[in-house]
Amino acid sequence: MQTISQVLRNLNILELNPAYSTGAVWGSSSGSNAIDSYSPVDGEKIASVQVVSAADYEKVITKAADAFLFWRSMPAPKRGEIVRQFGDALRKYKTDLGTLVSYEMGKSLQEGLGEVQEMIDICDFAVGLSRQLYGLTMHSERPGHRMYEQWHPLGVVGIISAFNFPVAVWSWNTALAWVCGNVCVWKPSEKTPVTAIACQHIIADVFKANGIPEGVSNLIIGDKITGELMTGDSRVALISATGSTRMGKEVGVAVAARLGKSLLELGGNNAIIISEHADLDMSLIGAVFGAVGTAGQRCTSTRRLIIHENVYDVFTAKLVKAYAQLHIGNPLDEHNHVGPLIDRAAVAGYLDAIEKCKAEGGRFIVEGAVLEGPGYTSGCYVKPCIAEVENDYKIVQHETFAPILYLIKYKTLAEAIALQNNVPQGLSSAIMTLNLREAEQFLSAAGSDCGIANVNIGTSGAEIGGAFGGEKETGGGRESGSDAWKAYMRRQTNTINYSNTLPLAQGIKFDL
Ligand code: NAD
């Protein structure tokens, strides 16, 4: 296993030098205008990174706007070729970048590598897409006329991302935005700035090797104040923001106030319905991975299990047994199933949620705790826990970003679907059943109200080929596959008159 300084060296970021394509400096000294990034794995400081100043931000946006003039006129398949090379560079750096993701964010090494794989996959998808940015042709009602639509890039796309997917979410946005002809400015989470700098270095080298002017990919480091520079800036045509519902409500309002476009990917409160017709062993894997994977810090983490009364006792016994076998510890050690939470504030949020749950009447069948002692010195390791609750408890309605699993019993499928839908969020959902009628009912218009609805798969772990996102307080945005690319472009309807008269639509006469 490599040391982290070796990983940083391999990624060319040991010195945190200014990257090629931005006006901002990363710096390396602690101070009021710097962010110190600590690993939740062992509590060690990884680096100090300088926060972008308002003056630096201006430089970045000006450079980005200039770069757009060049980038938009490059044929889309040529832009796709650059993204193809980016995918190749990610293949080269997969182990190093995946290790850094795991160390800075705290997810397992397998998941860190998986995140980089997701970046590679979206690059492949975007390369194909660069030859498929199709518009429709329509039949005109007027003789000698042709009507069609085409898609043009928007300009500067601002990407605000969350800590839990420190690199993949950026690539979902940026790979598509680039082939569509946009330039991007990325404000990563202030909790994971070092992985973002590593990504910027990787793409900067690709652009440089191809003689692309600076400013197509830009990185600004900072917290919400830096994010607000972009959300209030009408030069940023689209803000794609991933994070909490609280953040989304602020960003949505700020962008709407200037009539800009926003794409919001916010919190979830995801449930699996375990039917009496489920394969219980398969359901167990889906439920446990969904609840404890990434220490419950995925937007698609399983927060609630809605279990049929006929299988409730047998399934909960299996769950309790499985939880007793979980290994909690350093996520870079592949024997561990559960790593740390991102920081001590997240640990406080976990403890607070447990207290609130108990106060509302929740009964814990697997108790939670903060782990102490050797291997847990960062203070960020907690025990995944399970509570029997009612769906309408305030704490159950709220997304707690930690491995707390709530159990709810049901009698009829209609009741289970109502329980599943009866939360403010609408991201991911699943039913475990071998009964076709139940499965189809769950997927029907009267079924799940979420953006993602699965059968015999858990709530977490989406593929890049589908459109990803959710409804209600999850924000309504869609990213990644299917036709999500349309969010990064503007649609233009074109009508061409090749006749020698000027007929008006709807038969209106206007003779001079
Ligand atoms: P967060 O809301 O605290 O921060 C997310 C990002 O928004 C950060 O970069 C932060 O600096 C920025 N930000 C916060 N307030 C802002 C403001 N007013 N203006 C501009 N920028 C602002 O979220 P987090 O703790 O980093 O991530 C966890 C949350 O993200 C969870 O709720 C999770 O469900 C959600 N999430 C959703 C998806 C999805 O696709 N739906 C994916 C990943 C994470």
Euclidean distance between CA atoms 304 and 12, whole angstroms = 42
Choice among 49-63, 255-269, 310-324 with the minimum mean pLDDT: 49-63
pLDDT (tens digit per residue) in 144-169: 999 999 999 999 999 999 999 999 99
> What SS3 class is residue 134?
coil
Q: How far is the CA of 117 from the centre of ligand 1 (A)?
A: 22
Euclidean distance between CA atoms 110 and 94, whole angstroms = 11
Atom of ligand 1 nearest to the CA of 243: 30
| Closest C-alpha residue for ligand 1 atom 23 | 243
pLDDT (tens digit per residue) in 313-326: 999 999 999 999 99
Q: How far is the CA of 242 from the centre of ligand 1 (A)?
A: 5
Atom of ligand 1 nearest to the CA of 479: 40
SS3 of 414-444: the string is: HHHHHHHHCCCEECEEEEECCCHHHHHHHHC
Q: What DSSP element (H or E) covers 338?
A: none
Report residue 33's pLDDT band, with 50, 70 and 90 as the boundaries: confident
Angle of helix 109-129 relative to helix 168-179, nearest 10 degrees, comes to: 10
Two structure tokens written together for 308: 């049929």
363-370 mean pLDDT = 98
| Closest C-alpha residue for ligand 1 atom 17 | 224
Backbone CA torsion sign across 410, 414, 415, 417: positive
Backbone CA torsion sign across 417, 419, 422, 428: negative
| Closest C-alpha residue for ligand 1 atom 12 | 224
Euclidean distance between CA atoms 319 and 312, whole angstroms = 10
Q: How far is the CA of 323 from the centre of ligand 1 (A)?
A: 29
Residues in CB range of 131: below 8 A, 6 or more apart: 76, 77, 80
pLDDT (tens digit per residue) in 166-185: 999 999 999 999 999 999 99
Of 304, 307, 385, nearest to 341 (Cα)? Answer: 385
Q: What DSSP element (H or E) covers 53?
A: none
Is 199 a known active-site residue? Answer: no
Of 207, 143, 148, nearest to 174 (Cα)? Answer: 207
For ligand 1, mutation pick of 299, 425, 428 (most atoms within 8 Å of CB):
299
Q: How far is the CA of 309 from the centre of ligand 1 (A)?
A: 36
The beta strands (E) that lie in 125-164 are given as 137-138, 145-153, 156-160
Q: What is the pLDDT of residue 12?
A: 80
Share of the chain above pLDDT 90, in %: 89
Of 497, 485, 499, nearest to 126 (Cα)? Answer: 485
> What SS3 class is residue 445?
coil
Residues in CB range of 132: below 8 A, 6 or more apart: none
Report residue 431's pLDDT band, with 50, 70 and 90 as the boundaries: very high
Euclidean distance between CA atoms 21 and 60, whole angstroms = 9
Catalytic residue among 111, 115, 190, 265: 265
Quote the DSSP letter at residue 130. Answer: T
Q: How far is the CA of 163 from the centre of ligand 1 (A)?
A: 7
For ligand 1, mutation pick of 244, 255, 258 (most atoms within 8 Å of CB):
244
Looking at the chain, the domain(s) classified CATH 3.40.309.10 span 270-464
Backbone CA torsion sign across 233, 480, 446, 280: negative
Report residue 4's pLDDT band, with 50, 70 and 90 as the boundaries: confident
| Closest C-alpha residue for ligand 1 atom 30 | 243
Euclidean distance between CA atoms 72 and 364, whole angstroms = 56
Euclidean distance between CA atoms 159 and 219, whole angstroms = 9
Two structure tokens written together for 369: 């705790």
Residue 136 CB coordination number (10 Å): 10
Euclidean distance between CA atoms 495 and 490, whole angstroms = 16
Two structure tokens written together for 242: 């991933």
Two structure tokens written together for 75: 């044929």
Backbone phi, psi, residue 252, to 5°: -55, -45
Euclidean distance between CA atoms 450 and 168, whole angstroms = 22
Asked if the model's pLDDT at residue 29 lies above 70, the reply is no
Looking at the chain, the domain(s) classified CATH 3.40.605.10 span 4-266+475-491
Euclidean distance between CA atoms 272 and 283, whole angstroms = 9
| Residues in the ligand 1 pocket, defined by CB under 6 Å | 160-165, 169, 187, 189-190, 223-224, 227-228, 231, 242-244, 247, 250-251, 265-268, 299, 399, 401, 427, 474
Report residue 23's pLDDT band, with 50, 70 and 90 as the boundaries: very low
Pick the CATH number of 4-266+475-491 from 3.40.605.10, 3.30.1330.10, 3.40.50.150, 3.30.1600.10: 3.40.605.10
For ligand 1, mutation pick of 57, 107, 122, 160 (most atoms within 8 Å of CB):
160
| Closest C-alpha residue for ligand 1 atom 20 | 227
Sheet bearing 385-388, strands edge to edge = 363-366, 385-388, 404-410, 302-308, 270-274, 428-432, 452-455
Backbone CA torsion sign across 70, 71, 77, 81: positive
Pick the CATH number of 270-464 from 1.10.357.10, 3.30.360.10, 3.90.1150.10, 3.40.309.10: 3.40.309.10
Pairing of strands 261-265, 236-242: parallel
Quote the DSSP letter at residue 487. Answer: G
Rounded to the nearest angstrom, the gap between the alpha carbon of residue 433 and the centroid of all alpha carbons in its chain is 28
Catalytic residue among 299, 357, 380, 385: 299
Of 168, 191, 189, nearest to 341 (Cα)? Answer: 191
Report residue 20's pLDDT band, with 50, 70 and 90 as the boundaries: very low
Backbone phi, psi, residue 104, to 5°: -80, -35
Q: What is the pLDDT of residue 132?
A: 98
> What SS3 class is residue 118?
helix
434-456 mean pLDDT = 98
Rounded to the nearest angstrom, the gap between the alpha carbon of residue 87 and the centroid of all alpha carbons in its chain is 19
Rounded to the nearest angstrom, the gap between the alpha carbon of residue 52 and the centroid of all alpha carbons in its chain is 23
Q: How far is the CA of 247 from the centre of ligand 1 (A)?
A: 6
259-276 mean pLDDT = 98
Q: How far is the CA of 192 from the centre of ligand 1 (A)?
A: 12
Q: What is the mean pLDDT of the chain?
A: 95
| Closest C-alpha residue for ligand 1 atom 13 | 224
pLDDT (tens digit per residue) in 374-407: 999 999 999 999 999 999 999 999 999 999 999 9
For ligand 1, mutation pick of 161, 239, 247 (most atoms within 8 Å of CB):
247
Is 15 a known active-site residue? Answer: no
Asked if the model's pLDDT at residue 21 lies above 50, the reply is no
Report residue 475's pLDDT band, with 50, 70 and 90 as the boundaries: very high
Backbone phi, psi, residue 471, to 5°: -100, -175
Euclidean distance between CA atoms 398 and 267, whole angstroms = 9
Distances (CA, A) of 3 to 6, 46, 96, 351: 5, 12, 10, 33
Q: What is the pLDDT of residue 5?
A: 86
Share of the chain above pLDDT 70, in %: 96
> Widest CA span of the chain, in angstroms?
90
17-44 mean pLDDT = 69
